[in-house]
Amino acid sequence: MQELLTFTIIGLSTGAIYAVVASGLVVTYTTSGIFNLAHGATGMLSAFTYWQLRFDWDLPAPLALFITLFILCPLFGIVTERFVMRGLQGTTEVVRLSVTVALFAFMIGLANWIWPNDASREAFLKFYEGNSISIGGFNVSWHRLITFGCAVVVAIILRIVLYKTRMGVAMRAVVDDRNLTELNGGRPDRVSMFAWGISASLAGLAGILLAGDQQLNIEPLVLLVINAYAAAIIGRLKSLPLTFLGAGLLGLLDAYYLMVSDESWFPQTAFGFSLSGVRSALPTIVLFIALLARPQSRLRVGTTKLREENRVPEWRTAIMGAVALVVVVVGISGMLTRSNTLLLLNGFTFAMVTLSLVPLTGYAGQMSLAPLTFAGLGAIAMSKLPGNGNLVTLVVAIVIVAIVGAIVALPALRLSGIYLALATAAFAVMVSKIVFNQRQTFQTGNITVPVLRIPFVTIDTPRARLILASVCFAILGLIVVAVRRSRLGRRLVALKDSPAAAATLGMSLTRTKLAAFAISAGIAACAGALAGDKVSPQQYEFTQSLPIVLLAVVGGVGSVAGALFGGLLLGGNSVLATIVPTVKNLTKIGPGTVGITLGRNPQGAAAQIGDSFRPLIEQPRLIAISAAGAFGIWALDAADVISHWSFFVASVVWILAVSPNLPALTAAAPGRRVMAGAWLAVGMAIATGVDWSSALDATGKRIILIIGLVALFGVGAQRVVENSPRVHTASPDLAGLDTDFSREDIELAEQKIGVVL
């Protein structure tokens, strides 16, 4: 009984922290409809801030707590809602969830920047360190009592706020019907700001309480708070009493497992696998069970997506892009150093994993937070299967993981939206804690994935592996395009647009979802199987998957080009940190900062880039000119006429500044055509005529130069041709004011508004 009481108190203390965290999640979700995956990171950042005030700057504990929990945390929540979350109205749930992932990545990068790993930050003392009180013969620390007391106080305050105050009534009204609340004079935006402020304070309180036990380590703090997601799901994201009950059950389950796992009768292995990782995976197991126990998601009807557009890719464009990608990689791979080749190879691996989300998330609208988990399973299969990495081994590894993906999807088929995303997150954590830590999978902390063996082809250098990766991405991209253009692709898009309509027309939603998950898992497995190097389980952890998901949406999760852009952007972030040490800290928050702006451009960067190049692609003669110019620059470098850096600068200026302006040059008036052409020629002369390897002594300066040249000559030539600021051409309110409508413009407008007979 003494031992049972001891572990019960420990469990209730842990459950109290989970309750505080989960209550904040419920408050924000019910008032804004956004499940904040960055909630744990908010608590982590608050704990670091409190440490800075209390232990580094020696402020009194009450003052440090007041500043952190009642000033900085609410202010952070209000700013987040006002400038980040409010811009997500009208976007898909995938975009909304990805923005919280971006916020998550941003805060972790910010913590690593401001408080780098050092021994000085370990001195985080518990409240009333060393003091305890005896309860039933067991000494309970004041810190645990304060933790439990905080949970009780939070429960009472939330009850009073929600049911006894005007703001609480408004919050519950927003939960029931946001539009009706606004029609009756309510202010949903103000209510959401208030809710996000409260939520940030609750996350901050939980982070400070956790840091007393876990100390100031970023990942443990974040992951422990993630465990509270199960409590929020038990409360069905709306019931605070059930949420607190679920948190208590989680804490007690963890404590009781710790109590019995050391007993001699408790099994330490099962089917040859160690059970050492079960305890850390318990909250995610409970989360998975709670998700499966909830009622099946209702089929939703189609909604008007004013801010989303998915084009069907054309074969001509896809094939041209695939060939161009391989040709460019072959051309530049001989100019790269070994280290830069490996970094670019890493970027292509990320791109293939990102590509796995295109059919699942981009086409079918099914959110997954576990792409790297399937890549890890592919790497394990490639290393364990016989054949030493031949083509048959690769195909078998892909098929096995695709089957695993379909099996994993089976219990999750009843779920959709945020519940499906959390189910895949729970699966990723379970695999990481229970499978990847086994000696049978990663024997000594890492495994060697053999390089793919192709008959009559030798792949024994980093350059050869890079070319192979580009070819594989091109082939996988064409397969994804074929899926989109097929009958299955139309079914996937129908599933995303309106499951209710698709089911009404007789489409099997189950088979369609299984196909989407299997294809996605197979593509991710291919990326892992092609690693061709030593890999560790840390590379495939759940937190490593979040930037993949984020940059897939940033690039444009509905297109192959978006996957390439997102994957290379993630790989390029590490490249930039390596070659430009002065901006190393900025690269820590780079992906998160880019992702936070998704509300302004939910289509992704690839769509914007594609729009600028579409006029060029539609004119074969101009495509030939653009390709000839790029080849000419490469030939100058191959003949040692220009240096590698001059080749790089000239190539970027040609592709980003000259090529997009070619259609405008051909359509411009003769005088402006000459002026713009001369301006672009000057830019190319500067880019190719100067030996930038010796003219500038730092890579950072060269990158700034490239940005400046593209902006100066590319945008400058466009303005010469158009004779007006770029923004004017994008504003329909100004159409016809500075230039006359043509007859074609009038006819097109009449057709659009339906006045043409």
The reply to whether 734 falls in a domain is no
Distance CA 641, CA 656 (A): 22
Show the tokens assigned to 362: 């981009």
Residue 454 has pLDDT above 80, yes or no: yes
Name the burial class of residue 694, with classes exposed (0-12), middle (13-18) and buried (19+) by CB atoms within 10 angstroms of its CB. Answer: exposed
Q: What is the pLDDT of residues 166-224, one digit of tens each?
A: 887 777 677 666 667 777 777 777 888 888 898 899 888 888 888 877 667 776 677 66
The reply to whether 549 falls in a domain is yes
Name the burial class of residue 128, with classes exposed (0-12), middle (13-18) and buried (19+) by CB atoms within 10 angstroms of its CB. Answer: middle
Domain at 446, CATH number: 1.10.3470
Q: What's the average model confidence in pLDDT over 342-350?
A: 87
Q: Residue 747: its pLDDT value, please?
A: 64
| In a shared domain, residues 39 and 107 | yes
| In a shared domain, residues 319 and 410 | yes
Q: What's the average model confidence in pLDDT over 625-631?
A: 87
Q: Looking at per-residue confidence, does 618 or 658 come out higher? A: 658
The reply to whether 94 falls in a domain is yes
Q: What is the pLDDT of residues 558-569, one digit of tens each?
A: 888 888 888 877
* Percentage with pLDDT > 70 across the chain: 80
Q: Which of 129-138, 393-402, 546-555, 570-579 shows the lowest mean pLDDT across its residues?
A: 570-579
Q: Residue 122: its pLDDT value, please?
A: 53
Q: Which of 40-44, 139-143, 613-617, 738-742 shows the lowest mean pLDDT across its residues?
A: 738-742
| In a shared domain, residues 584 and 437 | yes
Chosen domain end from 566, 598, 630: 598
Contact 253, 282 (CB under 8 A): yes
Q: What is the mean pLDDT of the chain?
A: 79
Q: Residue 698: its pLDDT value, please?
A: 65
Residue 687 has pLDDT above 80, yes or no: yes
| In a shared domain, residues 77 and 186 | yes
| In a shared domain, residues 623 and 593 | no
Domain count, the chain: 3
Q: What is the pLDDT of residues 28-38, one digit of tens each?
A: 887 777 788 88
The reply to whether 157 falls in a domain is yes
| In a shared domain, residues 476 and 518 | yes
| In a shared domain, residues 585 and 633 | no
The reply to whether 310 falls in a domain is no
Which residues have a Cβ under 8 Å from the Cβ of 631 and sit 6 or more positions away? none
Read off φ and ψ for residue 447, nearest 5 degrees.
-130, 160
Q: Best-predicted range by mean pLDDT among 12-21, 134-143, 289-298, 706-715?
A: 12-21
CA angle (715 as vertex; 712, 720 as ends), nearest 5: 105
Residue 554 has pLDDT above 90, yes or no: no
| pLDDT grade for 609, boundaries at 50, 70 and 90 | low
| In a shared domain, residues 427 and 393 | yes
Beta bridge partners of 390: 453
The reply to whether 287 falls in a domain is no
Residue 600 has pLDDT above 60, yes or no: no
Q: What's the average model confidence in pLDDT over 611-630?
A: 80
Q: Residue 477: its pLDDT value, please?
A: 94
* Total-model pTM: 0.78
| In a shared domain, residues 470 and 517 | yes
| In a shared domain, residues 630 and 537 | no
Q: What's the average model confidence in pLDDT over 643-656?
A: 84
The reply to whether 105 falls in a domain is yes
Q: What's the average model confidence in pLDDT over 662-669?
A: 80
Handedness of CA 696, 699, 700, 705 (dihedral sign): positive
Which residues have a Cβ under 8 Å from the Cβ of 288 and sit 6 or more positions away? 411, 423, 426, 427, 430
Supply the range of the domain harboring residue 363: 315-598
Q: Residue 399: its pLDDT value, please?
A: 95
The reply to whether 15 falls in a domain is yes
| In a shared domain, residues 556 and 702 | no
Q: What is the pLDDT of residues 155-166, one digit of tens each?
A: 888 888 877 888
Chosen domain end from 598, 631, 652: 598
| In a shared domain, residues 504 and 457 | yes
